[in-house]
A and B are shown apart, each in its own frame.
Chain A
Amino acid sequence: MAATATPAPPARRRRTPRRPSDPAVAGRGRLLRWLPYLLVLPAVLMELLIHIVPMLIGIGMSFLRLTQFTIRNWTAAPFTGLDNYRVTLDFGGTAGAELLRSFGVTVAFTVIVVAASWAIGIFAGVLMQRPFRGRGFLRAFFLFPYALPAYAAVITWNFMLQRDNGLVNHVLVDQLGLFDERPFWLIGSNSFASLTVVAIWRLWPFAFLVIMAGLQSIPDDLYEAASIDGASIGRQFRAITMPMLRPINMVLVLVLFLWTFNDFNTAYVLFGNSVPAEAAVISVHIYQSSFVTWNFGLGSAMSVLLLLFLLLVSAAYLLFTSRRGRG
């Protein structure tokens, strides 16, 4: 098969660059026909191995009773049909109630984080739309939280949120005197607020980065014409900036949503292995119920439901935004 020889040709052809009419042309034609498939093959194989096949197996696993007793020989695990889903979606039972609670936490977390990150991003972007001294520096500086490896940034926050030797309590209690008692930030009901603040701190720079790029592609003439017509800054923002950012905002919000809804790192690194229920977002919840209780079947069922939910929301979102864009 000529097709198997692909890695070699570039080198060979370099030595004999001008032989368009040699007898190998027929073989080369066949090779050219297969070439696209050949070049795309590694990507296909890797996607199959790491994403597609495991996903299919994961869906299969969700129909099995996979616990610490059956995990060794998981192909022989008993088939239980929709049992895992029944347990998961029985919101009267423990597993279902916990999942529902975690889902609620995740939705609240996602809505707050995405809305705040986007709003801060656009606020900073608009403030920095026109040149001023120090703009280049600030632009790079604001990106630091996003550029830091997630664990390094979150560990720093973990330190700041420590009850006795953290910065947050030092400022709030010792310096401002807002509380009589030092609050706990990493356990109990405050943990949700902590998680949200840390996530926004890390995510808004990304929104800012993308929005800045979008703002720069808006021609200055538009603003000049508008201000000659006497349009105020607020009016210009509504009539020029927002409509021109629409295509970018559409993708940006979807990406922010997917990242935040699937976010595992922030909660896991901030709270360690014992994430408080108030801050147990869905991926942490699934992780804990799979690897702590070793109930992989149940974990898979929850993952599948999560994927279905994300697919549904994304599809609805794309449908909605594209229809509005046309209308």
Chain B
Amino acid sequence: MAEPLWFTWLRRVGLTVLTLVTAVPLFVMVSSSLKPSEDVQSAFRWVPTELTVRPFIDIWSTVPLASYFANSLVVSLAATLFSVLIAIFAAYVISRYRFRGRQLFSMTVLSTQMFPGILFLLPLFLIFVNLEQLTGIQLYATRTGLIITYLTFSLPFSIWMLVGYFNTIPRELDEAAFVDGTGPVGALLRVVLPAATPGVVAVAVYAFMAAWSEVLFASVMTTEASRTLAVGLQAYSTQSGVYWNQVMAASLVVSVPVVAGFLFLQRYLVQGFTSGAVK
């Protein structure tokens, strides 16, 4: 099927423009992270006067980046783990059972997606502070508080997506497991889950990315000791505006794990989104 010449040219020009627009900020990030500080203090230079890896070494001493990094890692991993576990069980039930409140639950979970974060930020802040005064359980300014908060952020999407996945797995598989004397939980763990692995992995990546990138709650719910990269990096850029090479190096370092994971799994994420959308 031949396409007209104008379309071929439209494609070439259009995609070239989009590639440039996408590439320039990425180029700035990478090239600036390899520049000496003189290069980023004066007018912008496309080509560094010399290439240096110093910024990548300096970032760890200029600000407590390692501590931010560790906080982000612990919070994101724990939030991901719990979010995925909780979502698996909830999604299995919604996919396989007709129980009272099923509709209400699904609707409520989905609608929390549209709540503005700012609406429950203030009350959550007060709940955490008061809970501490009443019971001594520390949630405000701790990693635990952030973990609990973040795991719920990815729950709605995770549940929605896993329900879609579980629905594509034939019930006959569960029933075959029942005949073998396995209960529903066993069927979920041994039959349904292995068949839904791509979905589970995608949900995990989504949950990790959401926690790793969150700014609003991190800016209110953390203090210096529990600060995550999202807030730490921003304070860095306003504090030491002149060290842009280091800021870019730090941005690059914190981006790599997420971008790698995302590119690896984008296909599964789309499948989830569209399967939910079509239904």
Binding site for B on A (CB under 8 A): 6, 9-10, 13-14, 16-20, 28, 32, 35-37, 39-40, 42-44, 46-47, 49-55, 57-58, 61, 71, 74, 120, 123-124, 127-128, 130, 132, 138, 140-153, 155-160, 162, 164-167, 169-170, 174, 201, 205, 209-210, 212-214, 217, 223-224, 227, 232-233, 247-248, 250-252, 258, 262, 264-265, 268-269, 272-273, 282-283, 286-287, 290-291, 296, 299-300, 303-304, 306-307, 310-311, 314
Contact = CB atoms under 8 A, between A and B. Distances in A.
Given A57-B127, A58-B120, A167-B44, A201 B21 contact: yes
A209 B270 contact: yes
Given A18-B181, A210-B273, 10 more contacts: A13-B186, A35-B183, A37-B99, A43-B89, A52-B108, A54-B123, A57-B126, A147-B259, A153-B25, A201-B21
Interface string B31-70: 0100000001111100000000000000000000000000
A31 to B, nearest CB: 8
A28 B28 CA distance: 62
B123 to A, nearest CB: 4
A156 B251 contact: yes
**A contact face: mostly helix, strand, loop, or mixed:** helix
Given A50-B149, A145-B22, A300-B122, A39 B278 contact: no
Contacts, number: 302
A151 B230 contact: yes
A217 B230 CA distance: 37
Interface in B243-278: 244, 247-248, 251-252, 254-255, 258-259, 262-263, 266, 269-271, 273-274, 276-278
Interface of B: 1, 3-4, 7, 10-11, 14-15, 18-19, 21-26, 28-29, 32, 40-44, 85-87, 89-90, 92-94, 97, 99, 105, 108-109, 112-124, 126-127, 130, 148-149, 151-152, 155, 159, 180-186, 189, 209, 212-213, 215-216, 219-220, 229-230, 233-234, 237-238, 241, 244, 247-248, 251-252, 254-255, 258-259, 262-263, 266, 269-271, 273-274, 276-278
A227 to B, nearest CB: 6
Nearest to B231: A151
Contacts of B209: 147, 149
Given A149-B255, A160-B25, A9 B43 contact: no
B255 A40 contact: no
B122 A152 contact: no
A284 B237 CA distance: 19
B244 A165 contact: yes
Nearest to A128: B15
Contacts of A141: 19, 22-23
A201 B4 CA distance: 30
